[in-house]
Every structure is written in structure tokens, then in C-alpha cells.
Amino acid sequence: MAPVLFLLCACVGPPAPDVELCRDVITRLCAEPVCSGVTAKLNTPAMGCEAELQRRSGCDVAEFAFTTPTRDRVLECRLPLVRESNLVVAHPPCEYVDETFRNCPDLVGFLGGTP
Amino acid sequence: MKRLGALVLLPLLAGCTTIESNTRIERGPLLRTFERPVLLEGSITADVRADWPWLKLTVVSNDVCRAQQVEEYAEEHITERTSAAVGPALSTGIANVLASAVLLGSSFIVTSTADTKLIDASGHYGPSTRQYLQGASIVTLGIGLPSLVVGLIGKLRTGDDVVTKRAEQVVSQKDARCNERPATGPMTLVSAQGVAVPFQSVDGAIDVDGTKLAVVPEALRFAEREVELTEEARATFAAWAACVSLEQDKAKTLESLSESGLLTRAERLRECRKIRGDALAEPVRLIDAELGRRRETGSPAAWAPGTNVSSFEEAVSAYAPTLKLAVNSKDLAILDTPESAEGRAVLLEGLVGEGLTENIGVIQVGERQVFLFIPPRKSWGGTFPNGTRVEVVALLSGRQTLGEKTLPLLRAVWMRTAW
């Protein structure tokens, strides 16, 4: 069994810290051009979308850790955003962004938006 | 659990390689030559003496002593086991295991830092370069290790086995009669019809009274085995059997016998005379006289040529030719007036000439020619092409005209090649 586990482990790296995961969600939402749903739901400014959302959620500090929503909940809500690509810089299609907001009003609230 | 897995896995891997086995035998040096005696069942023989009416048999059984000349060799039985799968399996195994080792070794000189440019759905970073190389190392090892094991097992199972044995070859053998001893046991005289008359031999001796037999014996058997007779013994037994036949047939008078019966009795008399000698002189004279009388007075149909004799000698005996038609024979003068000697038997010696019809040919006798009529139901065999020298027992039958030729006609009784 050990070699098989080793083989499986070889496909992934270590878990990303909560702060990096939080910033990954915000980076994907604020990737240019910003989707209209983001502006409408999260009331983000025209400039400095990432900085504003990090401030609202608290993940602008390195010691950030998820409480509500939990890390697992965030991962679940993030699924449509990584459906096309795992790359951090990838821009998710706007309909996937809308799907995320539809499924996760708690995430919208966490990011300071209107559920 | 691990040991059980290994026990199951190893036979499975070994089963992947088909081992072809081929055994050849190579003869080595000659070790020795010796003689081996073998005792085999022999034959039953009999010494036959006839003193009419007694047949005195001395039955002897023997073994066959066989001396076999045997050569003993050393012989190598070489079994070669090969497998076509061993080479490819070993090369694949070695190449992949080496590649795995190289990948594993290389993995320690590249970065182990995770790929932070991506975070997957489960929240993990991407694998590091070291992890990639080690994963590839595991995959190549997974291919190479089973191949290597299969190759090694196949290699262990192939090879040559040499077993040295001793082998014998019988190069010659010689049989000899041995252990001859009088035979005691059941003896039977068997007739042509298969009727068996039982006797009991005591110390090999049997005396048979020919006047007490109801059948004519033709063969001797001892305990269901044929008794072998020498040529001389066989002739004596045949002569005694002819006497037995005459004894059983003596009630019939000569006048009551048919022509064939008469000829048969004449034949038996000649045979029986070999052991009874002059005691049969009078019967022989009487039957010859009867045969002569019937030739003179009997019906021609009864004496149809070629139908009632079975050999040249019998034809000579039965027809007793008084004229000889051969080169330089004074009897050739009879051909000038064949009508005067019609029905007389002649012995003709000449060369076969042309065949005029299916049954009539020309025989050249010196400067003379005759027609020879060959009956359709002839008893003799063989072919007589042109130029064959023949001798014929025949009856003069006057003169015949065929085409432009008119020649004396002879009716063949028996014809054979002369040399």
C-alpha cells in the first residue's frame, strides 16, 4: 500500500494555508475584467477590488484563519471558480462566478456583499 | 499477508514464461561387449519310419538357444530448456529498473518546493518537481520490477540437464537348436478335412497302424503345434498316407472307378510303392492295363485332352505316348499319313510358331510343321510366345486345313516349356 499512497501523494502538493486560499478566491473574483455580478453583489470599487475584499474579509493579515464560513465551506463554494483551471491567475467565466454567489450567500456575506 | 502475496505472485510471474524443453540423445563411447544367452521356445520335430502297416514316429521337442552379441554404450540424455520470453523480459526489466533508479536519484537534486501557482479544488498546492520525478520513478519501477522478476525466474528455469545412462544394442544373434528331448503328450493325425485322430506319445514314441485308421492323415500336430518334418520324413509320411488311402479304398474294383478315380488310384499306388515296393507290383500292372484298355476302348469325351490330368508327368503316365515327334526323330514319318495313327498319343518337341486362331497354333519341328489344338479348358498355365521351345503330350487328330496351309493336327493334353 505504501508505494500506492506515495504515488497518489506525488500528484499534489501540501495544503495551502487559509490566508492563501482566501486570497485565491478574491483574486479569481477580481480578475480583470471584473464580472458585473461581482460589482453588483459585492459593491466593489472600480479600482482596488482585491485590496478592498481582503480588508473586508480579514485575509489581508498573514495570520488569517477561517471561522465562518469554514475552510471546507469555502472550498465547496470555490468549486465553480476552479472548474476551468487550477491556476491562481486564471479568470473564471462570469456564469461560474454567478453560480458561486447563487450557491453561497454566506460567502457573499463573508466578503462584505449583499446576499 | 505479505508472504502469502509473494507466494501467489511468484507462480503467476513464473507462469508468464513458457519453457520449451527438448531432449536429445548422444551416444558416448563403447563400454563393453558381451554375449547374452536367451532361451526361446523351439519346435517339435519327428523322425518318421514306415513299415507297412506301421508308421513309427519319434517325436522330439527342442528349445532355441539364442546367443546375442550385445554392445553396451554410455549414452547422454541432454535436455535443453529454453524460453523466448526470457530475453525481452530481462531487457525490459533492467531498462525500466535503471530508469526508475535514475529518476529517483535525479529527484533529490531538484526543488522540493510545492507549485504555488495553482491551488486545486481540495485546497492543495500543485506538486513539486521532486514529486513529479519520484512519481515517474514509481511508475517505471512498477513496469520494470515484474519484468525483471519474470526474466530472472525464466532464466533460472532454462538451461541444460545432462543425464548419463547405459544403453545396450544387440549387434548380432545366432540361434541354435538345443535341449532336444523326447516329447511326451497328446499327438494328433489330422486329415485334409480337419478330422483329428488322437494318440499319446510316451517318451516321444508313437506307432500308428495304418489299417486301423478311418481317415487319411495329412498333417501331424503335437499339443496343438505343427510337427516339423524334414523333406525325407515328409515324403515317407506322404507315401504311408497314400497306402492308408488305398487300404480304405480297396473295396472298389478297378472297373467301378471313373477315369479320374483310376488316375488317382494310379498316383497313390506309385506313391505307396515307395514304402511297400514289389508288394504292389501286381496292382500297378493291373491298373496300367486298365488304363491302356480304356484308352483303346473308352469314350473320346472321357479322355478329352487337358481335362483329366494335372501335370506333365501325369499326362505322360496316363497317355503313355508311343511316338516322339522331335528333330531327327524317325517317328516324324507318321506326319506324312496322320490319318493312319489318329488317336495315338505322341510326345511333341518343337518351337512355337505363329498362332493362327485363338486355339490353334503352328509348332515347328525341324523342317516339319504341325497344327496344335489347345482346348479352351486347359489345365496348364503360362504363356508361350513365338520361338518358345515346348514339349507337348498330344493326340494325333488327322489333318487340318487353315487358310493356305494343310498340316497334321495334334490335340494338346499337356504343354510346358522345354529347356
pLDDT of the residue at A53: 94
Region B354-374 average pLDDT: 83
The answer to whether residues B145 and B31 touch, using CB atoms and an 8 Å cutoff, is: no
Indicate the average pLDDT of chain B: 85
The answer to whether residues B45 and B227 touch, using CB atoms and an 8 Å cutoff, is: yes
Banded model confidence at residue A1, pLDDT cuts 50, 70, 90: very low
All residues of chain A having their beta carbon less than 8 Å from the beta carbon of residue B119 are 16, 20-21, 24, 82, 86, 88
Q: Is the pLDDT of residue B78 over 70?
A: yes
CA B201, B58, B226: angle at the middle one, nearest 5? 75
Task: State whether A3 and B123 contact (CB < 8 Å).
Answer: no
Q: Considering CB atoms only, which of A7, A9, A12 is closest to B120?
A: A12
Structural domain spans, chain B: 19-81+158-242, 84-157, 318-417
- Residue-wise pLDDT for B171-205, tens only, equals 999 999 899 999 888 889 888 888 888 888 888 89
Nearest CA in chain A to B134: A10
Q: Considering CB atoms only, which of A7, A14, A89 is closest to B114?
A: A14
Q: Considering CB atoms only, which of A11, A85, A89 is closest to B127?
A: A11
CA atoms within 13 A on the CB side of B265: 26
Banded model confidence at residue B357, pLDDT cuts 50, 70, 90: low
Banded model confidence at residue B295, pLDDT cuts 50, 70, 90: low
Q: Mean pLDDT lowest for which of A51-60, B76-85, B394-403?
A: B394-403
Q: Give the residue, B56 or A114, on which the prediction is more confident.
A: B56
Task: State whether A10 and B138 contact (CB < 8 Å).
Answer: yes
Q: Is the pTM of this model over 0.95?
A: no
Count the neighbouring beta carbons within 10 Å of the beta carbon of residue B224: 7
CA B184, B186, B187: angle at the middle one, nearest 5? 100
The answer to whether residues B89 and B37 touch, using CB atoms and an 8 Å cutoff, is: no
Banded model confidence at residue B418, pLDDT cuts 50, 70, 90: confident
Q: Is the pLDDT of residue B99 over 90?
A: yes
Q: Tell me if residue B105 falls in helix, strand or coil.
A: helix
Q: Is the pLDDT of residue B320 over 80?
A: yes
The answer to whether residues B58 and B176 touch, using CB atoms and an 8 Å cutoff, is: no
CA atoms within 13 A on the CB side of B54: 8
Q: Considering CB atoms only, which of A9, A11, A21 is closest to B119?
A: A21
Region B139-166 average pLDDT: 90
Q: What nine digits make up the cell of B174?
A: 545366432
Q: Is the pLDDT of residue B240 over 60?
A: yes
Task: State whether A12 and B118 contact (CB < 8 Å).
Answer: no
Region B38-49 average pLDDT: 91
Residue B70, exposed/middle/buried by CB under 10 A (0-12, 13-18, 19+)? middle
Q: Is the pLDDT of residue B302 over 50?
A: no
| Chain A: closest CA distance from residue B86 (Å) | 27
Banded model confidence at residue B6, pLDDT cuts 50, 70, 90: low
Banded model confidence at residue B419, pLDDT cuts 50, 70, 90: low
Q: What is the CATH number of domain B318-417?
A: 2.40.50.140
**Nearest-angstrom CA–CA distance, B397 and B374:** 12
Q: Give the residue, A14 or B19, on which the prediction is more confident.
A: A14
Chain B residues with at least one Cβ partner in A under 8 Å: 114-128, 131-132, 134-135, 138-139, 142
CA distances from B354 to B366, B367, B381, B390 (A): 15, 15, 19, 14
- Residue-wise pLDDT for A21-77, tens only, equals 999 999 999 998 999 999 999 999 888 899 999 999 999 999 999 998 999 999 999
Q: Is the pLDDT of residue B236 over 70?
A: yes
CA distances from B45 to B177, B205, B220, B273 (A): 11, 12, 10, 25
Q: Is the pLDDT of residue B97 over 90?
A: yes
- Residue-wise pLDDT for A89-109, tens only, equals 889 999 999 999 999 999 999
- Residue-wise pLDDT for B60-74, tens only, equals 999 999 999 999 999
pLDDT of the residue at B225: 86
pLDDT of the residue at A7: 52
User: Residues of chain B with pLDDT > 90: what percent?
Assistant: 34
Banded model confidence at residue B301, pLDDT cuts 50, 70, 90: very low
Region B249-258 average pLDDT: 80
- Residue-wise pLDDT for B256-287, tens only, equals 777 667 778 888 888 898 888 888 888 888 88
* Spacing of C-alpha B16 from chain mean position: 53
Q: Is the pLDDT of residue B144 over 60?
A: yes
Q: Is the pLDDT of residue B149 over 50?
A: yes
